[in-house]
A = this chain, B = another copy of it.
């Protein structure tokens, strides 16, 4: 049976979650505080964690970060607010999904199932070789070619390319890229992205001033177009 860890300070909601999820044949461990959550997670090694962002003792984002430090357990976040920035922070910290209160129990259960299914199939990364009309990148061997001649990318450039290529076609926010490549705390250094995307385009694109694969969406983020 799969174990769930619930972190929710409000007793009524904690009870409702416990009852409903036990009825769905999950094994449930429920705690009320962030510190208790970190302890419990180490003890029971849950298959999935449901975390309320509004905890009394510590910020929910810290709890997520604390878990992510050593565990890759799927995390679903509950939040009372519709706050977009809080959502982004939670997802950047490593949450897998996000449910806004109030929510229907059916929806939450569906998301729990989906998260567990995803974790089960353990999505293996696709081909580590990406080819476009202009260039070829071998992520594993760290080799880049444009046409016939080989191009050298610096470590930071590779790191940035990997972060983008992980979600081909999808838009990735600048803050997300910065946090992934330079580490948390660098979310404001948007200039780094400008400089490095300029370098990548100069090295890889046919027309660096009219990029076809490393696309900027002004004010939102960047996108890799295969």
Contact = CB atoms under 8 A, between A and B. Distances in A.
A130 interface: no
Interface string A183-226: 00000000000000000000000000000000001111101000
B125 A220 contact: no
Interface string A138-167: 001111000000001011001100100010
B155 A169 contact: no
A27 B199 CA distance: 50
A104 interface: yes
Interface residues of A, number: 49
Contact of A219 (B110, B122, B155, B169): B155
Interface in A71-123: 71-73, 82, 84, 94, 97, 100, 102-104, 106-107, 110-111, 114-115, 119, 122
A71 B111 CA distance: 17
A125 B97 contact: yes
